[in-house]
Structure 1
């Protein structure tokens, strides 16, 4: 069941919203103040936040700022303020939608479902890397080239992910080692990295002897080319 955090202090609105959202299959948690909302966010994870702008102890903008520092969870502002400056500010701070009171419950449900669809699509796209005919399915840990799975070691897989997530960026050997290996693994040095890169090229390049994807930038490091 998808969990929604409803941050609202209007009792006459809370009961109706909770009933309607629950009827549509959502598990609803109610927070009536900023303090309560922050406590709930620290205690649990939510699928979406419905956020009133004016609360007894501050502004819903404050929660939006805090959440956006660490999460891309969908946020829908729900407020009586229809001033353009507030709408723009809410969206600029990272809000996904802005609904003014009074509103129709069916419209709110539709907006919620639309926000969740966009969020799900973004997660799916973020979980797949595509480049040079190579696909990495991050959630499955699979690497596919031209429709066939490639068997990579853990080190080779981590290297490939790092390069494909940073296309056309020159990564120094020091950067790569720091990002992919614990500093306690002192056996990882430039020569060891070169061996890993060579083995990875053997598995992913069309011509490992003349690599076109994972190229060496002399004196600087390595770069993932988009061919």
Structure 2
């Protein structure tokens, strides 16, 4: 479980991000008040900080400065302040990334894992973040599972590649067809997509009858998780 400390006084946004990140095994503890966040960091371990800049009682840049000074933890600035000076200052102070609001929560999830992989690697850490089970390389038209090449037909690669790329999201049958050069709605009258999904499961799942990665969401489509 990845543990995140969020310093955000917009409680509605904090709740949305908390619920979204939960599905990726990321636990978020939000602090509306920056002084409470700083004191908690002294007694509780977190993997990363998500820090707003506009906060009650203390400017976010000052909070960033205190965190960098006293703790060895990566920081993502999440702020609606669009002043370039704020961004430059935050990065100069030691923040690892700056994400201007509004943004897609999916982008935040990707940035969290990217920063943690880099941070943990540089610190020779073997804690929370590990390489994903499946890796997608569109340039090589290759998908690997635990580093081993998965042998797929062109159509299977097309479908699984899209699902991995949109990991965590439900992808409708229509969207799969719209993004496919090999499949079309008319041809699928024979149930070709269902056949392809079944073949993929037999290649990537330990038990295709109880899939761990490629899920059918009844009435909606398919979802890939790992």
Q: Normalization by structure 2: what TM-score?
A: 0.53
Aligned-residue RMSD, C-alpha: 1.3
Task: Tell me how far apart the structure 1 counterparts of residues 37 and 71 of structure 2 sit (CA, whole Å).
Answer: 15
1:93-116: CA deviation from partner (whole Å, max 9, x where unpaired): 000000011000111111111110
How far did residue 23 of structure 1 move?
1.4
User: Which residue of structure 1 lines up, in the alignment, with residue 31 of structure 2?
Assistant: 31
1:172-220: CA deviation from partner (whole Å, max 9, x where unpaired): xxxxxxxxxxxxxxxxxxxxxxxxxxxxxxxxxxxxxxxxxxxxxxxxx
Structure 2 segments unaligned to the other structure (5+ residues): 126-226
User: Which residue of structure 2 lines up, in the alignment, with residue 22 of structure 1?
Assistant: 22
For the 8 Å contact 2:38–2:67, the answer to whether it is kept is no
How far did residue 53 of structure 1 move?
0.4
Task: Tell me how far apart the structure 1 counterparts of residues 28 and 114 of structure 2 sit (CA, whole Å).
Answer: 18
Structure 1 segments unaligned to the other structure (5+ residues): 126-227
State the SS of the aligned residue for 1:58: coil
State the SS of the aligned residue for 2:29: strand
Q: How does 1:78-227 map to 2 (within 5 A)?
A: 78-124=78-124
Task: Tell me how far apart the structure 2 counterparts of residues 19 and 105 of structure 1 sit (CA, whole Å).
Answer: 10
How far did residue 43 of structure 1 move?
2.0
1:36-74: CA deviation from partner (whole Å, max 9, x where unpaired): 111211220110000000101111112221121233311
Task: Tell me how far apart the structure 2 counterparts of residues 70 and 39 of structure 1 sit (CA, whole Å).
Answer: 11
User: Which residue of structure 1 lines up, in the alignment, with residue 57 of structure 2?
Assistant: 57
| Segments of 4+ moved more than 6 angstroms | none
State the SS of the aligned residue for 2:114: helix
Q: Which moved more, 1:66-75 or 1:97-106?
A: 66-75
Alignment CA distance shift 1:118-1:50 (3 Å): same
State the SS of the aligned residue for 1:54: coil
User: Which residue of structure 1 lines up, in the alignment, with residue 5 of structure 2?
Assistant: 5
Q: Normalization by structure 1: what TM-score?
A: 0.53
How far did residue 11 of structure 1 move?
1.6
Q: Which moved more, 1:59-68 or 1:111-120?
A: 59-68
